[in-house]
Structure 1
Amino acid sequence: MKLTVLGCGRWGTFLACYHSARNEVMLWGRPGSRAMAQLKAERKNSYIELPEQLQLTEDLAGALEFAEAVIISISAQQLRDLAKKIQALPVAGKTFILCMKGIEVESGKRLTQVFREEVTQPVRLAVWVGPGHVQDFSAGIPNCMVVDSDEPETTDYVVENLSSDLIRLYKGRDLIGTEVGAAAKNVIGIAAGMLDGIGYSSLKGALMARGAREIARLIRAMGGNELSAYGLCHLGDYEATLFSAHSHNRQFGESFVKGEHFDHLAEGAPTVKALVKLGEEYGVDLPICKTIYSMLYEGCSAKEALPRLFQRTVKGEFDY
């Protein structure tokens, strides 16, 4: 298979390197980006060294022409702009795989909706989400992830061609739940980091249980299968997000409550804005999301706001 990866951050670069062992792979980065400049100059980044056969380019047209399947791994809020550029090029018949998690803040739309709005050519589209960090995969530690699409045959195609012993891919059958669950787990990751930062780490078990329940309610209201919240896209990704030292979202939450600077991308920070909007739109109470929003954007104190989450009015655990 000829495969192009759009996005040369840590996850995109790893995927390009890993899949180049069995496929012809080209890695694209934005012209002038620091990450691509480093890769071109040193053939490595902080996490991985590039194999000789991996091709690098800043030419989007050439990168798209090269491949039959295209992985996109960029910031979720940049997807619409990239999709507009893709639409201007001949890509009919190709398969696009969104290896990214988030919801567009301005519209509250899932990433596949954003992509389909801008790329109107006949292409196949899937998402690839779930647990796993570059540092662990690079050390040979396996994990399981999930692929989903609005076309089951596209899901099958991606899983059959890109699954491996290191990254075992499962087939999702609920695109709404898979996308919302994957995006929302980053918000729960920020909450976990905040608990770590104020010394309340023992509450992360309760956070896991209530977080999955909260997002299940939202998925159900949006027309998805609430059980997806308990699958690989969300609950299955909690260990990698709520506990791992590698998680940018958890690190961001901890740094935030400690008043420390954090200069890496934490997708949960913009995503929580979109989730609060969706909760209002669909009439779903999202206490964890609203609490994180209040601390990030309204100046609420973590030591006051976080404990209150677990002191709410008593009700049945699985009541709606």
Structure 2
Amino acid sequence: MTKKIAVLGAGSWGSILASVLIENGHQVALYSNSPEQVAELNNKHTNSHYIQDYTYSPKLYATVDLKEAVTDADVVLFVVPTNVTRIVAKQLTPILAELGTKPLIVHASKGLELGSHKRLSEVLAEEIPSENRSGIVVLSGPSHAEEVARQDITLVTAASDDLANATLVQDIFMNDYFRIYTNTDVVGVEMGAAFKNIIAIGAGALHGLGYGDDAKAALMTRGLAEISRLGIAFGADPLTFIGLSGVGDLIVTCTSVHSRNWRAGNQLGQGKDLATVKEEMGMVIEGVNTCQAAYELAAQKNIEMPITEAIYNVLYRDQDVKNEIAKLMQREGRSESDNK
């Protein structure tokens, strides 16, 4: 079942997903707004700013022309940062209207839109009318581009309100090392994917401060409790948070040096300020914006999220990491089953 697939976003994850699709026998056009990056991908078959020591298939074609990328596409895969998802969707809509096509829209980004706090599937649904798309699917789970690039075993989730669309994405992506499970809980999958980045910043900070495995396990466990509480308040299925896009994604993001959020937290724990961390990272740290969104959504729903609040205080109120950890440890004792 060969498909033509347009991948929008040529960062580490977008370019490696494009590579997986090429290996699976599909025709892929990879869109980037950087002429230099496109030239490197087409001429050298490398993407050196994002993925080191990896050579892409000569069959992978990159372009700076969005219309060219999506012409005759059966599927359009968004893998752009959350802060430009709406912008790219706005650019895409008149092109699809002109072409008269209705591709399946898939996104593989993890975060919430800053300001509106909307999930990315909501953003895409708002900007791309139903007459210009056949459906929306979320692709998410515990995955690092660097590991998929070397064909490590990776399992992720395809989530959609329409199970047939999720199954189509499953068929397109699945192979011997990249396995896809379907899910109809779009809210839970997107919220789990977004909020785990916050906890990963905390996990990195603990490492930077020299704390051991006990502290990291505690953070991840209680962090998952917070993520679940907030997600359930917005209609997510509680079981989603013990699945791939919940605890699975949390584990991989909180324990791996491949995680930008973990690396950012690690540097914060070592005493660097956020501005310096952002500058040195040179790539989007999704958990920073998502932390603000989660903090404000928790206040809106009157849900207590002490770990998220502590990380928010470090990121946005210039509070000392050690002091925030001390405050967490000095909280009043309570039952583990309390929703606090």
TM bin, normalised by shorter chain, reads over 0.9
For structure 1, list consecutive stretches of 5 or more residues without a partner in the other structure: none
Are the equivalent residues in 2 in contact too, given 1:190–1:254 (CA < 8 A)? yes
Residue 27 (structure 1) aligned to one of 13, 27, 30: 30
Partner residue, 1:171: 182
Aligned length: 319
Letter of the 1:17 counterpart: S
Partner residue, 1:218: 230
Partner residue, 2:19: 17
Are the equivalent residues in 2 in contact too, given 1:4–1:66 (CA < 8 A)? no
Are the equivalent residues in 2 in contact too, given 1:83–1:119 (CA < 8 A)? yes
- Aligned identity (percent) is 32
Are the equivalent residues in 2 in contact too, given 1:101–1:267 (CA < 8 A)? yes
Letter of the 1:101 counterpart: K
Q: CA deviation at 1:43?
A: 1.9
Are the equivalent residues in 1 in contact too, given 2:261–2:287 (CA < 8 A)? yes
Residue 149 (structure 2) aligned to one of 127, 134, 138: 138
Deviates most, 21-30 or 222-231: 222-231
TM-score of the aligned structures, taking structure 2 as reference length:
0.90
Spell out the pairing of 1:290-309 with structure 2 (5 A cutoff): 290-309=309-328
Letter of the 2:180 counterpart: L
Letter of the 1:98 counterpart: H
Deviates most, 101-110 or 58-67: 58-67
Q: CA deviation at 1:69?
A: 0.7
In the alignment, is residue 5 of structure 1 matched against residue 11 of structure 2?
no
Residue 241 (structure 1) aligned to one of 253, 258, 265: 253
Residue 55 (structure 1) aligned to one of 52, 56, 61: 61
Are the equivalent residues in 2 in contact too, given 1:192–1:201 (CA < 8 A)? no
Could you list the per-position Cα deviations for residues 245-292 of structure 1 after superposition, in whole angstroms to 9, with x for gaps in the alignment?
Answer: 111110011112321643232110111111111111112111111111
Residue 79 (structure 1) aligned to one of 79, 85, 90: 85
In the alignment, is residue 98 of structure 1 matched against residue 98 of structure 2?
no
CA–CA distance in 2 between the matches of 1:45 and 1:83?
A: 24
For structure 2, list consecutive stretches of 5 or more residues without a partner in the other structure: none
CA–CA distance in 2 between the matches of 1:209 and 1:35?
A: 40
Deviates most, 153-162 or 94-103: 153-162
Letter of the 1:99 counterpart: A
Could you list the per-position Cα deviations for residues 54-111 of structure 1 after superposition, in whole angstroms to 9, with x for gaps in the alignment?
Answer: 1111110111114111111110111011111111112642101101100011101111
What SS class does the counterpart of residue 245 from structure 2 fall into? coil
Letter of the 2:63 counterpart: T
Letter of the 1:287 counterpart: P
In the alignment, is residue 198 of structure 1 matched against residue 209 of structure 2?
yes
Partner residue, 1:285: 304
What SS class does the counterpart of residue 170 from structure 1 fall into? strand
CA–CA distance in 2 between the matches of 1:49 and 1:307?
A: 47
Q: CA deviation at 1:53?
A: 1.0
Deviates most, 223-232 or 290-299: 223-232
Are the equivalent residues in 2 in contact too, given 1:147–1:158 (CA < 8 A)? yes
Q: CA deviation at 1:31?
A: 4.2
CA–CA distance in 1 between the matches of 2:259 and 2:18?
A: 21
What SS class does the counterpart of residue 20 from structure 1 fall into? helix
Partner residue, 1:117: 126
CA–CA distance in 1 between the matches of 2:37 and 2:205?
A: 29
Partner residue, 1:188: 199
Residue 40 (structure 2) aligned to one of 17, 23, 38: 38
CA–CA distance in 1 between the matches of 2:189 and 2:316?
A: 27
TM-score of the aligned structures, taking structure 1 as reference length:
0.95
Are the equivalent residues in 1 in contact too, given 2:158–2:182 (CA < 8 A)? yes
CA–CA distance in 2 between the matches of 1:41 and 1:306?
A: 49
CA–CA distance in 1 between the matches of 2:226 and 2:154?
A: 25
Q: CA deviation at 1:234?
A: 2.1
Partner residue, 2:169: 158
Spell out the pairing of 1:264-279 with structure 2 (5 A cutoff): 264-279=283-298
Are the equivalent residues in 2 in contact too, given 1:195–1:306 (CA < 8 A)? no
CA–CA distance in 1 between the matches of 2:195 and 2:179?
A: 22
CA–CA distance in 1 between the matches of 2:332 and 2:324?
A: 15
What SS class does the counterpart of residue 324 from structure 2 fall into? helix
Are the equivalent residues in 1 in contact too, given 2:207–2:269 (CA < 8 A)? no
Letter of the 1:157 counterpart: L
Q: CA deviation at 1:199?
A: 1.1
Letter of the 2:122 counterpart: Q
What SS class does the counterpart of residue 96 from structure 2 fall into? coil
